[in-house]
Amino acid sequence: MSASQHSRFTPDRGLTGRMVTTMFLIGLLYVGFTGLLIVLLRGAWPLVVLVSGGLFVAQFWFSDKITERAMGAHRVTPEQYPQLHGAVDRLCALADMPKPRVAVADNDMPNAFATGRNPQNAVVCVTTGLLRRLEPEELEGVLAHELSHVAHRDVAVMTVAGFLGVLAGAMTRIALYGGMMGGNRNSNDQNAAIAMVLIPLASMVVYAISFLLTRLLSRYRELAADRAAAQLTGRPAALASALTKVTGQIAAIPTKDLRQAQPYNAFYFAPALSAKEAASQLMSTHPSLEQRLAQLRKVSEELGR
């Protein structure tokens, strides 16, 4: 469904089309991979179906809690963070959308992220490093960016799409163990050898295609969120200032801390990369800072007219 049916965030047909295409292709890939496992590991097919279905449902329903825990976020009350809650309240009223749960991560890296399977179960989180560094208008720009992800539902799509590649690897290990060690004991050695080669190879292909598709979607959705946030708040310059400040400050964070955060780059407002790494990564989860600032200048000109 488009964001216009649920909020005042500007709908983005390009984003909707890319999300549908990505989910269709990855879903098709995942079904094909599951079918291959069932064919090659006939004796273990109940295990394959149980694992593939069970893990997918668990990830979809508990994605917010899994992501929060992995990224060190804890939910906070209006009494604990009145200014943060106040900003979220204003933006949700402006966007005419339900207020998500608000969380804070004790991390010096200035950043933010959103997660959740739908607007009613969403969480928006900022780090303590972000709160210390941004002015109120800049913070509202970042929060509007994250709320746009929630309103457009691309958070759920990225969560599921990104997980399917990882799940393919987990299923490979479980299916091989269950099939080779248990259900396939009576199979001949030749069939077992073929399965031992084909299954890991198929898993690598699934992961590679999932990786490429999610990267392409991720970069577009960040531009879509910047654009929608600037149009909603009417202050693209504030978001541009926040982007410049956050990107510059992230470059000063110790490399060890950045590496710990990098597995979750697809969810962050800005990637946990040094300036050199960000410039050299062709398959980054985010468009370049220059691209994002250029788009915000264009939005500013449109609003000025």
Residues taking part in catalysis? 146
Task: Give the residue ranges of DSSP H helices in the chain.
Answer: 13-40, 45-70, 82-95, 128-133, 136-152, 154-178, 189-233, 236-250, 255-261, 275-280, 289-304
**CA angle, 254 as apex, 207 and 263 as ends, to 5°?**
15
**Cα–Cα distance between 130 and 287 in angstroms, integer?**
20
Contact 43, 187 (CB under 8 A): yes
Amino acid at 215: R
**Cα–Cα distance between 26 and 33 in angstroms, integer?**
10
Contact 250, 129 (CB under 8 A): no
CA atoms within 13 Å, Cβ hemisphere of 64: 20
**Cα–Cα distance between 150 and 163 in angstroms, integer?**
18
Q: In this structure, which long-range contacts are made by residues 190-196, counting pairs with CB atoms below 8 Å and at least 24 apart in sequence?
A: 191/40, 194/40, 195/40, 195/41
**CA angle, 1 as apex, 299 and 218 as ends, to 5°?**
55
**CA angle, 303 as apex, 235 and 98 as ends, to 5°?**
55
Contact 191, 64 (CB under 8 A): no
